[in-house]
Amino acid sequence: MLGISGWEFLILAALAAALIGPERLPEYVAKLRGYIRQVRDMADGAKSQLKDQMGPEFQDVNWRAYDPRQYDPRKIVRDALFDPEPEPAATADAAGAATPAVPALAPAYDPHKFDPDRATPFDYDAT
């Protein structure tokens, strides 16, 4: 809060109360309360005006779903790098028994798939 700690705020409040004096203190507190109410009313008016201008389709939006603090970047990276391997589909023979599908030849090289044994590429032109 503007670089003021709790103790410093209390000292400033006590100093202001001493300078203003006990006679005028209730008057200034009432003015401060009125200013706070005006600011609160202006904020509520701006919020309702914004809702009116945006239209009814934005009233049902769950804004908490777009909060970036709920996402764990480690999980996002883990999911992107270590995609689960798709399981081979089972085929049914004439007797109706399911037999596992025979995998084809070795999987093709995918440059976008994470491989811990592959060296990290280095681009000399990028630096």
In a domain, 53, yes or no: yes
The total number of structural domains that make up the chain: 1
Greater confidence (90 vs 41) lies with: 41
Measured distance CA(122)–CA(112) in Å, rounded: 15
In a domain, 96, yes or no: no
Greater confidence (64 vs 34) lies with: 34
In a domain, 31, yes or no: yes
Cβ atoms of residues 91 and 101 within 8 Å: yes
In a domain, 33, yes or no: yes
Residue 29 is part of which domain span? 22-58
Measured distance CA(76)–CA(81) in Å, rounded: 9
User: Is the confidence at residue 52, as pLDDT, over 70?
Assistant: yes
Measured distance CA(87)–CA(98) in Å, rounded: 14
In a domain, 67, yes or no: no
